[in-house]
């Protein structure tokens, strides 16, 4: 399968990239590692005539425990001694993405902005045509839920880093024609499978900020997939707890691959509770109640839902003992 | 050269760990695959495929595509309506759809152009007028009567979409079930599979000005492609040359003559330029020919002594849109199910149906794998009902060596009893099975397989394998064979046979395999036939050369020694020909060769293999499954099941296999380990899912083969029975080792968590569902808990 023809642009600064984007919008895509975009382009999934590579923008490569540039490669994040010591959950989640080879190319920004995935979307043109088209590629309806009232795309968000960064309380930096801003990661993602996040065309995710307060939390990530390598998550659960003795001062849970965006579980009323198995069961029950996977990736939705509770329970047990 | 070994030391190279002769070029990246070949002026082909599962083609307009600059030829099905197919009994394919598209992805037209971009653009300019027809995608739909104009193929005699019915009955089955002390039965469902070979299909065709056509293709059976090209293109076979370069895996998926091979030849003939087509992975799923999805109903019976008295089998086989190897599959699902056990009565109803899906075909363990899963699972259940250990039940019913099965198979060498003994002893079966903590278990599975089909697909009296040898003054031995190296090691095997007989190092043998201008006909790499048949042919050819060299050595030794040495007393080893009784009396291979060449020229010899007459039974289909010998296997699996998630982790497989004699332990171990990898994929995760007949996951990310991380430790146990007719006693190891691992894992899951899975693959959601159902019904709880 051939890549479609496109013009490649290689700016060397964020300002230069943003200026270029303003000129090219909306007919362009950003590319970092290319592990997501290029396969999609080969399948003619919304390919555009211009591609702006961020590979030469040095300022996107910061890596510290408080600031992670969008162009930091997943392999570097996973192996960084400071990250491993301070936020092992983040290094662990990174190490479970795709394969070693792909992580040598794939980036933090790319994983956060990963395009949503679906049986009906990640297919060839012939395949999609045979089905009458997919909503996410200018088709008439979403084939996952063809009978829904409001016609929205149900492709699954499948990034592994987002839920972990969310439970660490991270924010993301955004640069665009209107300047720079910072958005909490829990507000970054926006339903549905087409809209995906708050980035306006021409805007760029520059970095992730992890607050100092995150260091008070114990965090973890559990990924469900059929093989212990290469697969996208069919479910991922991240959790963070702030413990004082056996009192849980705060608990955060976020899930990936079960909806069009990461699913943040509102647990405000579970703060300042005594840690107990009953408390863990209540949170697992909340997850079960909140999560409603649809049939868009492998393994049955009912199973994935059940596993969301099982993995949450296991993760919280591990974090609190 | 080394000193000659003492005569007592046995073989020269047989049984020695011998690296495959093509391993280094593959590892170094210098092996040439079809897609590496570039010819001057070569064009690129792309194929237009049907977006409909079933549609009548009313008209195809290619004029716009033809007018596109850079397009050199466009072809459609109407230009080559001659039907072909791998089996003469079901020729139902054409180079492209003629008037009917029968599955999503069916070839409809093809373009040759200067580059891929132009070819792709040209495909978009071809207008096809389809009339969409009702699609039959489930076997249940296919067995309902349909109006003749909606039948997927109109040539069949059935009022529905049945392709083939097979009915076998031996003995008083009903009586056996009536008087049984215990019975077990179940309905099983096995998913279709892709071979998932590494190299997608590629083909290069060059129709030269001389009127000769050369086709390079990754083929397991170049001979059948040779025949099909001649038939469809209307050319005499001598004007067609088929070459098989290095092949990146086949597993049965490259053994049909394919539409894409023929349409590329058509394109080249039309424009007179070399044309190459390489399929992308999605197209591999359209070409398909993978394992048939089957729905199997099985019941078995035993008497109070644990003697198996009856087997009642009913299989519905989902064939997809074409015949392919399907008639054979229809028989194999039944006839390859009984051994290694003796059943007193047996009934089989097999029905292969056409559906509007990519065609199923032959895949490693062809026809034997799915029924094996059902049978070995039920044997465990029956043992429990009889209060017997599952191993004990199997031992009581083993078919002995040198016997005949109820359906007429001649069994010769048979190491099944040793296989069972070895794998159960080494796995600690007696101490561990049924006694491990909840979540951990052991299971057993056995099997057998043909070592080459005795009945050739084409009813001719040509030998099934032929090998030519040529030795000139350089001493190197050129081995011409039609056996198709597809990664299984056939080149190495043939070279080893010759090196063994002539007592020379293997690097003196160079294999020229599969170029129909240079190589004798061989029926190809399928049905686990190559080592047995081609190996015997190679030995016969080498023995003729050995006679000539022996005669020369005899003359030389007569000149040099007082008494001389008669050639019956000569041995060949390490490049020497020496007296068996006194290794000091010797001449070198080169000396003997030099004399043999004098006034004579290059030594040439030919060896052939033809299987002996085996047909004793006379029922319809009696020849299906007849083989000059059979391999046997018994495996034990050690698995762990996570009862909360349904995940199955296989810790270890003890794999005992009777391959007659292990000619090359590296290759034998590789085949067994590879079979286990593939079998575990089918057991745990491989499944072709369809959406309205369209493959839902036509790529290697979503169609999941087992990853290296999930590959368990494998303890290969080679049981050598020294088959009386095998080359140096060898028989097959390429396919038989796959089937037992699936029921071994299923039975181990039962030992671990007390649930029986009736569906493949045993994915975590299915395993968990079974566990949850059992929790809801505690009355059925596992006895061991």
pLDDT, one tens digit per residue, over B72-131 is: 999 999 999 999 999 999 999 999 999 999 999 999 999 999 999 999 999 999 999 999
Closest Cα in chain A, distance from residue B251 (Å): 22
Which of B51, B644, B702 is the closest to A126 by Cβ?
B51
Distance CA B471, CA B478 (A): 6
- Does residue B783 have a pLDDT over 80? no
- Does residue B3 have a pLDDT over 60? no
Distance CA B133, CA B153 (A): 13
Distance CA A84, CA A86 (A): 6
pLDDT above 90 coverage of chain B, percent: 93
φ and ψ of B189, to 5 deg: -135, 125
Residue B671: how many CB atoms within 10 A of its CB? 26
- Of B313, B351, B347, nearest to B329 by C-alpha is B351
On the question of a cis peptide bond just before residue B540, with omega within 30 degrees of 0, the verdict is no
pLDDT of residue B105: 98
Distance CA B277, CA B265 (A): 10
The phi-psi region of residue A242 (left if phi > 0; otherwise alpha if psi is between -120 and 50; otherwise beta) is beta
Q: Is the ipTM of this complex over 0.85?
A: yes
Q: Does B644 sit within 8 Å of A310, measured CB to CB?
A: yes
Confidence of residue B34 (pLDDT cuts 50, 70, 90): very high
pLDDT of residue B578: 94
Please tell me whether residue A232 adopts helix, strand or coil conformation.
coil
Distance CA A6, CA B502 (A): 61
Contact status, residue B782 vs residue B769, Cβ threshold 8 Å: no
* B114-153 residues touching A, CB cutoff 8 A: 116-117, 120
Q: Does A229 sit within 8 Å of B708, measured CB to CB?
A: yes
Distance CA B757, CA B746 (A): 7
φ and ψ of A214, to 5 deg: -60, -25
Residue A254: beta bridge partners? A238, A264
**Does B368-451+631-780 match B7-31+458-609 at the fold level?**
yes
Q: Tokens for B374, please give them.
A: 């059902």
pLDDT of residue B778: 54
Closest Cα in chain A, distance from residue B701 (Å): 7
pLDDT of residue B6: 40
Q: Does B706 sit within 8 Å of A226, measured CB to CB?
A: no
- Does residue B376 have a pLDDT over 50? yes
Assess B677–A contact: CB distance below 8 Å, yes or no. Answer: no
Q: Does A307 sit within 8 Å of B282, measured CB to CB?
A: no
Q: Which residues of chain A have pLDDT under 50?
A: none
Contact status, residue B31 vs residue B246, Cβ threshold 8 Å: yes
Q: Does B51 sit within 8 Å of A299, measured CB to CB?
A: no
Q: Does A127 sit within 8 Å of B694, measured CB to CB?
A: yes
Q: What is the largest CA-CA distance in chain A?
A: 60
DSSP label at B36?
A: G
Contact status, residue B51 vs residue B102, Cβ threshold 8 Å: no
- H/E stretch holding B766 reads helix B764-776
Query: Domain A1-53, what fold?
Result: 3.30.43
Sort out which chain B residues have CB atoms less than 8 A from A300's CB and list them.
Answer: 765
pLDDT of residue B40: 98
pLDDT above 70 coverage of chain B, percent: 98
Contact status, residue B301 vs residue B386, Cβ threshold 8 Å: no
DSSP label at B93?
A: B
pLDDT digits (tens, 9 = 90+) for B651-709: 999 999 999 999 999 999 999 999 999 999 999 999 999 999 999 999 999 999 999 99
Q: Does B117 sit within 8 Å of A130, measured CB to CB?
A: no
pLDDT digits (tens, 9 = 90+) for B300-347: 999 999 999 999 999 999 999 999 999 999 999 999 999 999 999 999
The phi-psi region of residue B434 (left if phi > 0; otherwise alpha if psi is between -120 and 50; otherwise beta) is left
Residue B214: how many CB atoms within 10 A of its CB? 20
Please tell me whether residue A249 adopts helix, strand or coil conformation.
strand
Going B255 to B257 to B258 to B264, the CA torsion angle's sign is positive
Query: Domain B368-451+631-780, what fold?
Result: Aldehyde Oxidoreductase; domain 4 (3.30.365)
* B237-276 residues touching A, CB cutoff 8 A: none
Please give the C-alpha separations between residue A239 and each of A168, A217, A247, A308, B646, in angstroms, as whole numbers.
9, 10, 16, 12, 23
pLDDT digits (tens, 9 = 90+) for A158-181: 999 999 999 999 999 999 999 999
Please give the C-alpha separations between residue B391 and each of B183, B435, B442, in angstroms, as whole numbers.
17, 15, 11
Q: In the Cβ-directed half-sphere of B251, how many Cα atoms lie within 13 Å? A: 24
Q: Tokens for B198, please give them.
A: 């590494």
Assess B704–A contact: CB distance below 8 Å, yes or no. Answer: yes
Could you write out the three-class secondary structure of B711-723? CCEEEEEEECCCC
- The predicted model gives B424-448 an average pLDDT of 98
On the question of a cis peptide bond just before residue B690, with omega within 30 degrees of 0, the verdict is no
Assess B775–A contact: CB distance below 8 Å, yes or no. Answer: no
Confidence of residue B776 (pLDDT cuts 50, 70, 90): confident
pLDDT of residue B777: 66
Domain map (residue ranges) of chain A: 1-53, 61-212, 216-320
- Does residue B2 have a pLDDT over 50? no
- Does residue B30 have a pLDDT over 90? yes
Sorted by sequence, the CB contacts under 8 Å of residue B593 that are 6+ apart come out as B471, B473, B475, B549, B552, B603
Find tokens 């809801």 and name the residue.
B776
- The predicted model gives B377-405 an average pLDDT of 97
Distance CA B333, CA B611 (A): 23
- Does residue B1 have a pLDDT over 80? no
Burial of B30 (0-12, 13-18, 19+ CB in 10 A): exposed
Measured CA angle at B682 (ends B679, B688), to 5 deg? 145
Closest Cα in chain B, distance from residue A227 (Å): 6
Please give the C-alpha separations between residue A107 and each of A55, A72, A102, A230, in angstroms, as whole numbers.
10, 5, 9, 16
Sort out which chain A residues have CB atoms less than 8 A from B701's CB and list them.
Answer: 230-232
Return the exposure string of B99-112: e unless at least 16 CB atoms fall within 10 Å of the residue's CB, then b: ebbbbbbbbbbbbb
Find tokens 């292969």 and name the residue.
B352
Q: Which residue of A has its CA nearest to B117?
A: A2
Q: How far, rounded to the nearest angstrom, does the alpha carbon of residue A188 sit from its chain's CA centroid?
A: 10
Distance CA B590, CA B283 (A): 52
Domain map (residue ranges) of chain B: 7-31+458-609, 368-451+631-780
Top CATH class, A216-320: alpha beta
- Does residue B213 have a pLDDT over 70? yes
Interface with A, mutate which of B53, B278, B645, B695 (most A CBs under 10 A):
B645
Q: Does domain B7-31+458-609 have CATH number 3.30.365.10?
A: yes
Residue B775: how many CB atoms within 10 A of its CB? 11
Residue A317: beta bridge partners? none
Architecture per CATH, domain A61-212, reads as: 2-Layer Sandwich (3.30)
pLDDT of residue B8: 42
Contact status, residue B102 vs residue B133, Cβ threshold 8 Å: no
Q: How high does pLDDT run on average in chain B?
A: 95
Q: Which residue of A has its CA nearest to B644?
A: A310
Sort out which chain A residues have CB atoms less than 8 A from B51's CB and list them.
Answer: 126, 129-130
- Does residue B50 have a pLDDT over 70? yes
Q: Which residue of B has its CA nearest to A131?
A: B51
């Amino acid at each position: 399968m051939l890549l479609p023809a496109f013009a490649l642009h290689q700016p060397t600064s964020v300002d230069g990239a943003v200026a270029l984007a303003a000129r090219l919008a909306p007919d362009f895509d950003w590319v970092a590692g290319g592990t997501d975009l290029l396969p999609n382009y080969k399948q003619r999934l919304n390919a555009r005539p211009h591609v702006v590579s961020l590979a030469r923008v040095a300022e996107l490569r910061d890596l510290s425990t408080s600031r992670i540039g969008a162009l930091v490669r997943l392999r570097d994040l996973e192996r960084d001694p400071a990250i491993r010591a301070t936020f092992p959950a983040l290094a662990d989640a990174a190490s479970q993405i795709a394969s070693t080879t792909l992580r040598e190319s794939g980036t933090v920004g790319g994983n956060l902005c990963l395009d949503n995935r679906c049986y009906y979307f990640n297919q060839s043109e012939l395949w999609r045509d045979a089905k009458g088209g997919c909503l996410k590629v200018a088709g008439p309806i979403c084939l996952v839920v063809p009978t829904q009232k409001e016609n929205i795309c149900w492709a699954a968000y499948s990034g592994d880093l987002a839920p972990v960064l969310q439970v660490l309380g991270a924010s993301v930096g955004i640069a665009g024609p209107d300047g720079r801003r910072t958005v909490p990661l829990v507000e970054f993602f926006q339903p549905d499978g087409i809209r995906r996040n708050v980035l306006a065309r021409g805007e760029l995710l520059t970095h992730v900020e992890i607050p100092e307060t995150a260091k008070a939390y114990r965090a973890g990530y559990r990924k469900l997939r059929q093989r212990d390598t290469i697969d996208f998550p069919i479910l991922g659960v991240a959790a963070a707890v702030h413990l004082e003795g056996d009192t849980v001062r705060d608990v955060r849970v976020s899930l990936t691959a079960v909806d069009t965006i990461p699913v943040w579980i509102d647990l405000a009323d579970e703060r300042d509770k005594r840690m107990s198995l009953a408390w863990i069961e209540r949170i697992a029950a909340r997850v079960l109640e909140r999560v409603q996977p649809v049939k868009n990736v492998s393994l049955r939705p009912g199973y994935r839902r059940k596993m969301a509770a099982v993995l949450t329970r296991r993760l919280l047990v591990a974090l609190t003992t | 050269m080394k000193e000659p070994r003492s005569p007592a030391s046995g073989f020269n190279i047989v049984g020695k760990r011998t690296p495959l002769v093509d391993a280094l070029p593959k590892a170094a990246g210098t092996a040439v695959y079809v897609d590496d070949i570039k010819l001057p002026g070569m064009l690129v082909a792309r194929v237009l495929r049907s977006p409909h599962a079933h549609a009548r083609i009313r008209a195809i307009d290619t004029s716009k595509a033809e007018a596109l600059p850079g397009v050199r030829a466009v072809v459609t099905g109407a230009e080559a309506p001659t039907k072909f197919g791998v089996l003469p009994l079901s020729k139902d394919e054409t180079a492209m759809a003629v008037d009917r598209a029968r599955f999503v992805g069916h070839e409809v037209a093809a373009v040759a152009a200067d580059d891929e971009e132009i070819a792709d653009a040209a495909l978009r300019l071809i207008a096809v007028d389809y009339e969409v027809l009702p699609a039959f995608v489930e076997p249940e739909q296919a067995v309902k009567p349909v109006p003749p104009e909606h039948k997927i193929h109109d040539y069949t005699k059935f009022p529905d979409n049945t392709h083939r019915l097979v009915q076998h009955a031996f003995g008083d089955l009903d009586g056996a079930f009536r008087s049984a002390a215990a019975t077990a039965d179940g309905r099983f469902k096995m998913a279709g599979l892709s071979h998932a070979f590494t190299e997608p299909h590629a083909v290069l065709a060059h129709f030269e000005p001389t009127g000769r056509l050369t086709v390079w293709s990754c083929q397991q059976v170049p001979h059948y492609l040779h025949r099909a090209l001649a038939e469809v293109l209307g050319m005499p076979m001598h004007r067609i040359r088929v070459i098989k370069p290095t092949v990146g895996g086949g597993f049965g998926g490259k053994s049909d003559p394919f539409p894409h091979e023929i349409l590329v030849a058509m394109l080249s003939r039309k424009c007179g330029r070399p044309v190459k087509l390489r399929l992308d992975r999605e197209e591999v799923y359209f070409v398909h020919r993978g394992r048939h999805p089957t729905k199997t109903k099985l019941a078995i019976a035993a008497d109070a002594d644990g003697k198996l008295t009856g087997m009642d089998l009913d299989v519905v086989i989902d064939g997809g849109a074409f015949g392919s190897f399907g008639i054979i599959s229809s028989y194999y699902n039944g006839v390859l199910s009984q051994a290694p056990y003796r059943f007193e009565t047996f009934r089989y109803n097999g029905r292969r149906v056409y559906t509007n899906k990519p065609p199923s075909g032959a895949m490693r363990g062809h026809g034997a794998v799915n029924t094996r899963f059902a049978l070995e699972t039920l044997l465990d259940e029956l043992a429990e009902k009889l209060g017997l250990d599952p191993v004990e039940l199997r031992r009581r019913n083993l078919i002995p060596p040198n016997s005949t099965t109820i359906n007429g198979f001649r069994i010769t060498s048979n190491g099944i009893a040793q296989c069972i003994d070895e794998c159960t002893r080494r796995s600690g079966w007696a101490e561990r099975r049924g006694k491990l903590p909840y979540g951990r278990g052991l299971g057993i599975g056995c099997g057998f397989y043909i070592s080459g089909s005795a009945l050739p697909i084409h009813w001719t009296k040509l030998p099934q394998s032929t090998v030519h040898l040529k030795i000139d003054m350089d001493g190197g031995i050129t081995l011409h064979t039609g056996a198709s190296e597809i990664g299984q090691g056939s080149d190495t095997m043939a070279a080893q046979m010759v090196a063994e007989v002539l007592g020379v190092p293997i690097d003196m043998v160079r294999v020229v395999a599969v170029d129909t201008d240079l190589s004798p006909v061989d029926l190809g790499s399928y049905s686990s036939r190559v080592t047995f048949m081609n190996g015997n042919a190679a030995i016969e050819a080498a023995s003729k050369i050995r006679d000539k060299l022996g005669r020369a050595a005899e003359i030389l030794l007569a000149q040099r020694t007082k008494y001389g040495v008669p050639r019956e007393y000569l041995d060949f080893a390490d490049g020497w020909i020496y007296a068996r009784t006194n290794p000091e009396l010797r001449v070198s291979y080169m000396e003997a060769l030099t004399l043999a060449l004098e006034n004579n020229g290059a030594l040439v010899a030919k060896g052939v293999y033809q299987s002996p007459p085996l047909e004793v039974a006379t029922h319809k289909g009696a020849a299906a499954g007849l083989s000059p010998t059979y391999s046997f296997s018994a495996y034990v699996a050690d698995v762990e099941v996570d009862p909360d998630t349904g995940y199955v982790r296989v810790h270890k497989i003890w794999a005992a296999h009777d391959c007659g004699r292990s000619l090359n332990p590296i290759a034998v171990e590789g085949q067994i380990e590879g079979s286990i990898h593939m079998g575990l994929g089918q057991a745990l995760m491989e499944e072709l899912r369809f959406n309205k007949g369209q493959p839902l996951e036509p790529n290697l990310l979503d169609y999941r083969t087992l990853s290296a991380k999930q590959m368990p430790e494998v303890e290969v146990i080679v049981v050598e029975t020294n088959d009386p007719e095998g080359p140096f006693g060898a028989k097959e190891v390429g396919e038989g080792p796959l089937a037992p691992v699936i029921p071994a894992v299923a039975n181990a899951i039962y030992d671990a968590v007390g649930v029986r899975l009736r569906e493949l693959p045993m994915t975590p959601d299915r395993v968990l569902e079974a566990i949850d159902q059992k929790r809801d019904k505690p009355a059925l709880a596992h006895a061991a808990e």
